[in-house]
Each structure stands twice: as C-alpha cells, then as structure tokens.
Amino acid sequence: MNNGENSGNSRAPRRVTAAMVAEHAGVSTATVSLVANGKSAGRVSAVNEQRVREAIRELGYFVDSIGSSLAKGVSSLVVLVAPDISNPFFAKVIAGVRSVLASDYQLLLSVTDAGVSPSASETRKIMGLRPAGLLVHAPSQDFLEEISSNLPLVALDAPGIDPRIPAVNMDVAQGAREVIAHFAAQGHTKAAYLDASTGTETLAVRREAFLAAAAEYGIKVLPSSVASSMIDVTAASAAFTQRWTQWRDSGVTALGCATDNHAFGVLHASRHLGISIPQQLAVAGFDDLPYSATSNPSITSVQLNAQEGGRQAALKLRALLDGKTPDPLQSMLPSSLIVRGSTLNNKGN
C-alpha cells in the first residue's frame, strides 16, 4: 500500500494548502492569503493577483476558515438560526444582516421548522463549529436557558424575552390593533382569526392583540371563530374550508390571519368555494410578503421591516463582538398596515 492509498482504488483526497498555491503561482503565502481573503486591493499587484487566482482555480484551493479560526482563537463565522428560509421575509432579514457583517464574517444559516421555536440541542451542534456569535429568530426563554453559553447572542422577533438579552423586536401587537381598527372602520361587527398551530411567542402576541383590540372596538370574535393551521398555504386553505360554513352562518365578515401564507390559503379556498373577497369576506394578513401586493385581490397586510430588523440585530451582534454593550440593548421596530383590495369596500352586516 502506497502513501495515502486506501484499500481498492480509493484515495484520501489531497488537501490543497496556501503554500502549494504560492509555489504554483510563484508568490509568497502572504500574497495568497491576501488574495484568497479579499484583501489584495492596493497590496498585491494585478499581475500577481491574477497568478494567484489562476492557481486557486487550477488547484481547487479554498480558505479553511474553521481551521484558521481555531488557530487564531478568533472565528469569522456567524450563525443565523431561522425558520423557512424560502419565505421572502427571511430573505430580507438575511440581506439586512449581510449589510453589516459580510465584510468581516461568513453567515451560516441553521434552518428550523416554520413557526417553531429553535431547538437548543440542534443549535449546540452548530456551536461545534466555534462561531463568533449567534443571531436567533424567535427563541423561547427555555432555549436561552438551555443554550447557556458565553457566546455573543442577539434575538430577533422575540417579544417578552429577558430584558437582559440583546434583541430586536417587531411591534406586532400594534399591527394587530391596526387590522381591527381597519375592520371597524369598514363596518364589520363579527370577525374570525386563523392562527398558526405551531406558534412562537410573536405569533401568540399577534393573536392576543387581535382579540383584545376586537373587544375594545366592539367586534365580536367567538371562541369557535378562532382556528389554526401550520404556516403553509395548503394547510391554511384546508382549515378555512373546514370552518367557513360555520363562520358564515354566525355572521363573520372579516378574517385576520397570523401570516400572509395563511391569507394566501384563504384566497385559494375562497375561489373554490365561490366566496367573493372582499364583498363577502375581508381578509388581512401579516408580514407583507412581496407577492401580497400582486395577488388577486391584493392582500391587506401588516408590514414588518424585516431587512431593518436584520440590520439592527447584526449591529447589536457587532457591538458584542467588539466587546461593547449594544445601545439600546433591545429595540422595537414599528409596524404599519398596508391596506389593499382584500379588505376594501366590504361594509359588513
């Protein structure tokens, strides 16, 4: 058996080093490091930079950021724990985070299930990569207690969280109140609510604020007029279909939804059931996803500034990484109701 050979014809993959790239390009390892880490501007000639890039491409070299972090004791990795990254809301969060951290840190995504609080045990596995810090969407208090690490951590969209934890929250309660105020202005007196069945605290706050505001405005929401489904268009469509006859017969003319995905499900079911939106039923959602403005009818929705939330969370984490205390420690971003076709011109009963 020769060096590096395994049984049969398989071989252990050769690890390309910076020294090998330097030899191939005829430059120093320091020059390779500058080019590979995007720090060559004004420090490496154009000719040498081209040589290094060609050598990197030919040899298949990549920077071992984890190994480098272990050697230096300083990590360049930041982990964002978030659900359902196919949701455009989280694409905006990521854009906001990268606007602050991309120049110095690599962003690693740890994906949880939609509408479910992150798991401490799953997150601990990621911590084996020795990240510099964590950004966690909607962590529960139990999560924070279980994670029990000195690692810098910032929470995003986590109402009611320990005031000692750096966090950026969205004023979802105000958004829910604006939905009810709009329903009242349109003349509705009976409403229903389609909740998320697996909810984080932010989803619970939306529901409770909706119900409290309804009572304040004199809009009746019966216990039987609150249903739930997974955060999924098909599931929401099925849940609405199951409840619609009962809601219609009880006089419901307005429906609040925990997310825009729920609202899309309602619109889908309404077409099959022959329900006219908004003439028979006004429908409002949450999150103001990009296609809420282009659906038919367009969806009235509570707009949450996801990109700014990501940016502010990253700024707080950056402060922690620099050994500073974020100021303020916790922030609250305002929400606003974007009124569209799904709720207009319905005067209720």
Per residue in 31-87, pLDDT tens? 988 888 788 888 999 999 999 999 988 888 877 665 555 555 557 899 999 887 778
pLDDT for 3: 41
Residue 331 has pLDDT above 70, yes or no: yes
Q: Does residue 48 sit within a domain?
A: yes
**Do 118 and 163 lie in a common domain?**
yes
Q: What is the C-alpha separation between 92 and 161, in angstroms, rounded? A: 23
Residue holding tokens 């003349």?
187
**Do 155 and 259 lie in a common domain?**
no
Identify the domain containing residue 219 by its residue range. Answer: 172-304
**Stretch 171-188: mean pLDDT:** 98
**Do 24 and 58 lie in a common domain?**
yes
Q: Does residue 52 sit within a domain?
A: yes
Q: What is the C-alpha separation between 107 and 97, in angstroms, rounded? A: 8
**Do 179 and 159 lie in a common domain?**
no
Q: Does residue 224 sit within a domain?
A: yes
**Do 193 and 285 lie in a common domain?**
yes
Q: Are 96 and 306 in contact (CB under 8 A)?
A: yes
CATH code where residue 232 lies:
3.40.50.2300
Least confident span in 98-112, 277-291, 305-319: 98-112
The better pLDDT of the pair 160, 237 is held by 237
Nearest to 80 by CA among 158, 132, 149: 132
**Do 46 and 92 lie in a common domain?**
no
**Do 113 and 182 lie in a common domain?**
no
**Do 145 and 87 lie in a common domain?**
yes
CATH code where residue 57 lies:
1.10.260
Residue 112 has pLDDT above 90, yes or no: no
Three-class secondary structure of residue 21 per DSSP: helix
**Do 253 and 293 lie in a common domain?**
yes
Q: Are 203 and 157 in contact (CB under 8 A)?
A: no
Three-class secondary structure of residue 47 per DSSP: helix
Question: What domain count does the chain have?
Answer: 3
Q: What is the C-alpha separation between 146 and 132, in angstroms, rounded? A: 19
**Do 257 and 327 lie in a common domain?**
no
Q: Does residue 179 sit within a domain?
A: yes
**Do 177 and 300 lie in a common domain?**
yes
